[in-house]
């Protein structure tokens, strides 16, 4: 080889492929304010919609009088349920097999429920007109406590289905009951508890929170009467699913519906489903023949679109005296609000909550879940986690700490005794999952060494003594969490959405010059897909990442996919990308063989080229092969160089991690100050370490927010008391702790590039870590479980009840 030819390593580095800390290409437009969001869209003749919403948590709608609103200059129309009913659009199907009112017909079931849709030529006029719509309500008793939902004599919430004895998942037990779901071996589990040397039991509640993306939910609908085609631009995490659902309910043929998700300002699960505002905008556009924009404000977003959690988990662990877990039993009361609008794969009404055995080797377990209706906003989405996985992780990680306390064991030590061992992978969990790979002990030990865990415990002990002597008013808490995520939904054998298997897709087109356009069925909302998918292709095909454009979000051009949530993009579309690239590479190899006049088997791949084995100076680069594909293909081969792959993963992937938090609690004010947070993540193969770090930082910040302050609160008559940034805790840079990140790498054995997905791990592992730290601070005084969120007054109240205020 002559010495001006760059080495393989040099050439590989230039590609900016996998493993490279490539800067996010999307940031070039975002940091210049040149992103293009739904609300940036201004179409000629566009109208604006605004929703009239219920001030009551539960009321009968007696009368709607829109005369005054319609009389306001600029108002084009006012839609109510009466207008939608003839079209059979006053209710819409939810992803969970329920229906949700688009505009309230006879009753409103939660505060800020949609009652009427005003359409005007101007956004301001629309808001003025919404105030002029007169709605007569008869207030009804509101049901806000899920524990009272199934009481005899509880208010009947869903009159529309009160006689339905069967729900989407079997018999209903009560008119406010949605579903019962169970998994695991009940008898064997009960038996383990009967035989147990030690048991613990605690009601562990995970409060109602909201994903709260900075950009609220919004859309522009434009119906072309002449072509009979509908275009909807919207904040959609799953554009193709929206298109299919829109076609099924509107009867407009699917090919005549164009769904476009432009740049999205965060989703976190909030933008998976469909909302009444979308349906109203579509109907309004069909009725008026003009484009109609609907944009939520913050209060609407927080109080009416999908919430997350609201899971009340009665948790029991059976164990031996020396701290080996022998059984887990959990009953969940799930508050789904007024309609079951959970966004789970259709067969999984409690999502993947059965990951609740966590990272531990439980021989048996049993989980039962009851979903109930209350007078609260519908939802139950996965807020930056895979379906119900943060709930599960919080549940098991809190319960393990409670068990450690009862046994007098250090919480890290209890975990080390029970973590699934490396040689047990692939591991069959008691609740039915097959964990793909892991080295849990190595991860936890690395984390403990990194923070000098023993020294921290010694410092804590000294602090407790000083506190008892009255020398300090601060307590120190150390939180440990070890989590296992389950992401990448998913295998079509057990995951579908409304019957559509949860595969995902990639289409790669290599152009004659070697430039690439690639499209996926997923949709980035900040995850950086344009950067990372290009890196996969760069490594697979030896073309520079900078020459690859990644496009998502347009159903006309992107191959069908199920969208981005549940950390599924890398496990599914990322895999599809690698597989499509490999098809291209196989064809390129045939072309190379022809050009080099050797057999394909005499070629070997070297970073960006095929070379003749034993004769490295004879090669064809991928760029050359791209040209040849359009110029001179071997006989019998089609010209062109492109491929599509629909990837149905054989299994989920199971990222994991070990987190440690150190905080100080001011017992006089209840203020908790996070001193240190160390996060070790194992997401398998690391595509872009910088993006991973960014995802971890963001996810930990959300976990911090949830654990320390986020909560959607209702008063007893169903008023949502905190739907604004004044009260809904979104930490700023000032409150946010400094994050220390670390990693181990255990590739997924079944994923083409060994990657597992990482975007949501920090939320899953972070929430219990903070909570465990706060609990840990108080446990030497006898406290066992403190409910989240750990805001100032709750923490102060704990201290007060423990008699710490003299």
Residues labelled catalytic: 237, 384-385, 760
The single residue among 571, 709, 737, 766 that binds another protein, judged by CB under 8 A, is 709
Residue (of 469, 467, 470, 471) closest to 777 by Cα position: 467
Which parts of 103-132 interact with another protein (CB under 8 A)?
A: 123-124, 126-128, 131
Is 791 a binder of another protein (CB under 8 A)? yes
Which of 294, 453 has the CB closer to another protein? 294
Is 735 a binder of another protein (CB under 8 A)? yes
Closest distance to another protein from the beta carbon of 677 (Å): 18
Site string for another protein, 16-45 (x = CB under 8 A): ------------------------------
Cβ neighbors of 719 (< 8 A, separation 6 or more) are: 57, 111
Classify the C-alpha dihedral 379-385-391-392 as positive or negative.
Answer: positive
Site string for another protein, 127-146 (x = CB under 8 A): xx--x---------------
The single residue among 39, 224, 297, 664 that binds another protein, judged by CB under 8 A, is 297
Closest distance to another protein from the beta carbon of 347 (Å): 38
Which of 631, 669 has the CB closer to another protein? 669
Q: Which stretch binds another protein (CB under 8 A): 283-291, 313-321, 440-448, 791-799?
A: 791-799
Q: Which residue has the tokens 């991928």?
A: 622
- The answer to whether residues 291 and 45 touch, using CB atoms and an 8 Å cutoff, is yes
Closest distance to another protein from the beta carbon of 670 (Å): 8
Which of 99, 299 has the CB closer to another protein? 299
In sequence order, what DSSP letters do the residues of 118-166 get, joined into one string?
EEESSHHHHHHHHHH-EEEEEE------GGGTTSTTPPP--GGGTT--E
The single residue among 35, 173, 713, 804 that binds another protein, judged by CB under 8 A, is 713
Is 668 a binder of another protein (CB under 8 A)? yes
Which of 327, 737 has the CB closer to another protein? 737
Residue (of 591, 567, 49) closest to 280 by Cα position: 49
Q: Where do the H-state alpha helices sit in 378-478?
A: 389-407, 411-418, 440-451, 453-468
Q: Walk across the sheet containing 504-510 and list its strands.
A: 548-552, 516-520, 504-510, 642-647
Which parts of 715-734 interact with another protein (CB under 8 A)?
A: 721-722, 726-727, 729-732, 734
Residue (of 653, 655, 651, 652) closest to 443 by Cα position: 655
Site string for another protein, 627-666 (x = CB under 8 A): ----------------------------------------
The single residue among 7, 613, 639, 793 that binds another protein, judged by CB under 8 A, is 793
Is 299 a binder of another protein (CB under 8 A)? yes
Closest distance to another protein from the beta carbon of 297 (Å): 4
Closest distance to another protein from the beta carbon of 261 (Å): 23
Q: Strands 516-520 and 504-510, how do they pair?
A: antiparallel
- The answer to whether residues 688 and 21 touch, using CB atoms and an 8 Å cutoff, is yes
Closest distance to another protein from the beta carbon of 734 (Å): 5
Cβ neighbors of 189 (< 8 A, separation 6 or more) are: 327, 328, 329, 364, 365, 366
The first and second tokens of residue 101, run together, are: 């009112």
Is 50 a binder of another protein (CB under 8 A)? yes
Closest distance to another protein from the beta carbon of 469 (Å): 16
Buried residues in 660-681 as b, exposed as e (16+ CB within 10 A): bbbbbbbbeebebebbbbbbbb
Cα(17)–Cα(546) distance, integer angstroms: 10
Cα(589)–Cα(580) distance, integer angstroms: 14
DSSP classification of residue 787 = P
Closest distance to another protein from the beta carbon of 730 (Å): 8
Site string for another protein, 557-576 (x = CB under 8 A): --------------------
Which of 128, 648 has the CB closer to another protein? 128
Which of 413, 800 has the CB closer to another protein? 800
Is 792 a binder of another protein (CB under 8 A)? yes
Which parts of 232-261 interact with another protein (CB under 8 A)?
A: none
CA atoms within 13 A on the CB side of 503: 15
Cα(158)–Cα(91) distance, integer angstroms: 13
Size of the site for another protein (CB under 8 A): 32
Which of 435, 796 has the CB closer to another protein? 796
Which of 513, 669 has the CB closer to another protein? 669
Closest distance to another protein from the beta carbon of 432 (Å): 40
Which of 182, 721 has the CB closer to another protein? 721
The single residue among 14, 70, 298, 446 that binds another protein, judged by CB under 8 A, is 298
Q: Which residue has the tokens 């022998």?
A: 326
Closest distance to another protein from the beta carbon of 671 (Å): 7
Which of 237, 795 has the CB closer to another protein? 795
Give the helix, strand, coil percentages of the chain, each rounded to 5.
30, 25, 40
Closest distance to another protein from the beta carbon of 134 (Å): 16
Residue (of 681, 652, 640, 654) closest to 766 by Cα position: 681
Which of 8, 669 has the CB closer to another protein? 669
In sequence order, what DSSP letters do the residues of 46-74 get, joined into one string?
-EEEEEEE-SSSSEEEEEEE-HHHHHSTT
Residue (of 384, 210, 390, 205) closest to 302 by Cα position: 210
Q: φ and ψ at 397, to 5 degrees? A: -70, -35
The first and second tokens of residue 238, run together, are: 């799953």
The first and second tokens of residue 261, run together, are: 């998700």
Q: φ and ψ at 548, to 5 degrees? A: -120, 120
- What are the beta bridge partners of residue 332? 313, 369
DSSP classification of residue 779 = G
- The answer to whether residues 137 and 108 touch, using CB atoms and an 8 Å cutoff, is yes
Binding residues for another protein (CB under 8 A): 50, 123-124, 126-128, 131, 297-299, 668-671, 709, 713, 721-722, 726-727, 729-732, 734-735, 791-793, 796-797, 805
């Amino acid at each position: 080889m002559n010495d001006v030819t760059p080495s393989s390593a040099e050439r590989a580095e230039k590609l900016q492929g996998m493993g490279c800390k490539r800067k996010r290409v999307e940031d070039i437009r975002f940091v210049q304010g040149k992103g293009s969001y739904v609300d940036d869209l201004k179409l000629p003749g566009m109208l604006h919609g605004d929703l009239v919403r219920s001030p009551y948590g539960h009321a009968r709608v007696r009368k709607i009088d829109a005369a005054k609103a319609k009389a306001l200059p600029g108002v084009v129309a006012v839609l109510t349920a009466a207008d939608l009913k003839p079209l059979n659009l006053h209710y819409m199907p939810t992803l969970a097999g329920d229906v949700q009112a688009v505009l309230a017909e006879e009753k409103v079931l939660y505060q800020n429920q949609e009652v009427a849709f005003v359409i005007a030529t101007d956004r301001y006029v629309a808001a003025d007109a919404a105030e002029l719509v007169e709605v007569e309500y008869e207030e009804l008793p509101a049901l806000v406590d899920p524990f009272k939902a199934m009481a005899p004599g509880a208010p009947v919430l869903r009159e529309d289905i009160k006689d339905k004895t069967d729900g989407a998942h079997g018999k209903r037990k009560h008119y406010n009951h949605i579903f019962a779901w169970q998994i695991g071996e009940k008898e064997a589990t009960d038996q383990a508890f009967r035989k147990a040397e030690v048991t613990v039991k605690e009601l562990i509640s995970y409060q109602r929170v909201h994903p709260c993306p900075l950009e609220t939910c919004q859309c522009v609908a434009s119906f072309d009467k002449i072509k009979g085609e509908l275009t909807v631009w919207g904040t959609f995490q799953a554009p193709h699913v929206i298109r299919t659902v829109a076609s099924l309910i509107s009867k407009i043929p699917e090919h005549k519906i164009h769904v476009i998700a432009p740049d999205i300002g965060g989703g976190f699960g909030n933008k998976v489903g469909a909302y009444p505002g979308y349906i109203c905008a579509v109907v309004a556009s069909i009725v008026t023949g003009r484009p109609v924009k609907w944009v939520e404000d913050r209060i609407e977003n927080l109080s009416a679109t999908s919430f997350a959690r609201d899971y009340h988990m009665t948790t029991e662990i059976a164990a031996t005296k020396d701290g080996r877990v022998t059984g887990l039993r959990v009953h969940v009361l799930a508050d789904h609000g007024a309609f079951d609008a959970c966004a789970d794969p259709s067969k999984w009404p409690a999502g993947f909550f059965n990951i609740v055995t966590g990272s531990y080797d439980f021989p048996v377990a049993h989980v039962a879940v009851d979903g109930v209706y209350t007078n609260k906003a519908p939802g139950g989405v996965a807020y930056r986690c895979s379906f119900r996985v943060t709930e599960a992780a919080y549940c098991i990680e809190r319960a393990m700490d409670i068990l450690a306390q009862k046994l007098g064991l250090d919480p890290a030590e209890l975990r080390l005794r029970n973590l699934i061992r490396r040689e047990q992978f692939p591991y069959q969990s008691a609740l039915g999952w097959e964990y793909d790979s892991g080295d849990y002990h190595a991860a936890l030990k690395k984390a403990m060494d990194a923070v000098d865990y023993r020294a921290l415990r010694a410092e804590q002990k000294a602090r407790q003594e000083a506190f008892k002597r009255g020398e300090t008013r601060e307590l120190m808490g150390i939180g440990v969490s070890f989590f296992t995520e389950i992401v990448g939904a998913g295998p079509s054998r057990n995951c579908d959405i409304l019957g559509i298997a949860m595969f995902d897709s990639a289409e790669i087109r290599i152009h004659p010059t070697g430039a690439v356009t690639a499209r996926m069925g997923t949709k980035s909302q900040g995850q950086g897909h344009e950067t990372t998918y290009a890196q996969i292709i760069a490594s697979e095909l030896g073309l520079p990442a900078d020459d690859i454009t990644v496009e998502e979000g347009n159903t006309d051009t992107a191959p069908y996919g199920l969208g981005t949530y549940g950390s599924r993009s890398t496990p599914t579309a990322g895999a599809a990308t690698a597989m499509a690239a490999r098809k291209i590479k196989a064809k390129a190899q045939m072309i190379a063989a022809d050009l080099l006049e050797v057999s394909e088997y005499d070629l070997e791949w070297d970073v960006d080229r095929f070379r003749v084995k034993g004769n490295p100076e004879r090669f064809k680069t991928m760029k050359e092969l791209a040209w040849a594909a359009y110029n001179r293909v071997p006989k019998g081969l089609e010209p062109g160089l492109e491929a599509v792959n629909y990837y149905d993963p054989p299994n989920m992937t199971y990222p994991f991690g070990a987190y440690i938090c150190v905080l100080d609690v001011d017992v006089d004010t209840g203020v908790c100050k996070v001193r240190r947070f160390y996060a070790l993540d194992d997401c398998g193969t690391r595509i872009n370490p910088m993006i991973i770090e960014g995802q971890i930082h963001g996810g930990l910040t959300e976990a911090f927010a949830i654990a320390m302050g986020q909560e959607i609160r209702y008063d007893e008559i169903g008023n949502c008391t905190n739907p604004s940034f004044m009260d809904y805790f979104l930490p700023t840079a000032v409150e946010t702790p400094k994050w220390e990140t670390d990693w181990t790498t255990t590739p997924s054995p079944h994923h083409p590039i060994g990657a597992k997905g990482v975007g949501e791990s920090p939320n899953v592992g972070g929430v219990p870590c903070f909570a465990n730290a706060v609990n840990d601070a108080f446990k030497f005084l006898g406290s066992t479980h403190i409910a989240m969120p750990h805001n100032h007054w709750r923490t102060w109240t704990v201290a007060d009840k423990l008699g710490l205020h003299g």
